[in-house]
Amino acid sequence: MKINVHKIATNFTGEYCYTHARGTALPSGKIFVTTQPLLLSGVDVFYGVEKFTVDGKNFKASPITPCKNLAREKRGEKNTVVVSDCTPLYHKVTGKILLLGHSLLYGEDNRLVQKRPRHTAYAVYDGEKGDFEHFKLLDMGDTEYYFAGNGSGQSFEEENGDLLIPFYYQSRFDIENGKYNASAAVMRCAFDGEKLKILEIGAPLALNVPRGFCEPSVIKYENKYFLCLRNDNDGYLAKSKDGLHYGDLQPLCFDDGSSVGNYCTQQHWLTGGDKLWLVYTRRAENNGHVFRHRAPLFIAEVDPLSLRVIRATEKVVVPERGARLGNFGCCSLGDGRGVVIASEWMQFGGGDSEGWKRCMQYGSDNSIFVSEILFD
Instruction: Identify the band that residue 238 occupies on the pLDDT scale cut at 50, 70 and 90.
Output: very high
Contact between residue 71 and residue 48 where contact means Cβ atoms under 8 Å apart: yes
Beta bridge partners of 148: 169
Instruction: Identify the band that residue 348 occupies on the pLDDT scale cut at 50, 70 and 90.
Output: confident
Residues 6+ away with beta carbon under 8 Å from 80: 72, 73, 74, 105, 106, 110
| pLDDT over threshold 80, residue 211 | yes
Domains recognised in the chain with CATH numbers: 2-374 (2.120.10.10)
The amino acid at residue 278 is L
Please state the length of the chain: 376
For residue 118, count other CB atoms closer than 10 A to its CB: 24
Task: Work out the percent of the chain whose per-residue pLDDT is above 90.
Answer: 95
| pLDDT over threshold 90, residue 99 | yes
| Predicted local distance difference test score (pLDDT) of residue 262 | 98
For residue 63, count other CB atoms closer than 10 A to its CB: 8
Q: Rg for the chain (alpha carbons), in Å? A: 19
Segment 64-71 shows an average pLDDT of 98
pLDDT tens, 125-184? 999 999 999 999 999 999 999 999 999 999 999 999 999 999 999 999 999 999 999 999
The strand order across the sheet containing 16-25 reads 16-25, 30-39, 50-55, 65-66
For residue 31, count other CB atoms closer than 10 A to its CB: 24
Exposed, middle or buried, 159 (CB in 10 Å: 0-12/13-18/19+)? exposed
Pairing of strands 181-191, 211-212: parallel
What is residue 173's three-state secondary structure? helix
What is residue 219's three-state secondary structure? strand
| pLDDT over threshold 80, residue 350 | no
Chain-wide mean pLDDT for the chain? Answer: 97
Exposed, middle or buried, 134 (CB in 10 Å: 0-12/13-18/19+)? exposed
Contact between residue 268 and residue 198 where contact means Cβ atoms under 8 Å apart: no
- Buried b vs exposed e over 14-23: b needs ≥16 C-beta within 10 Å? eebbbbbbbb
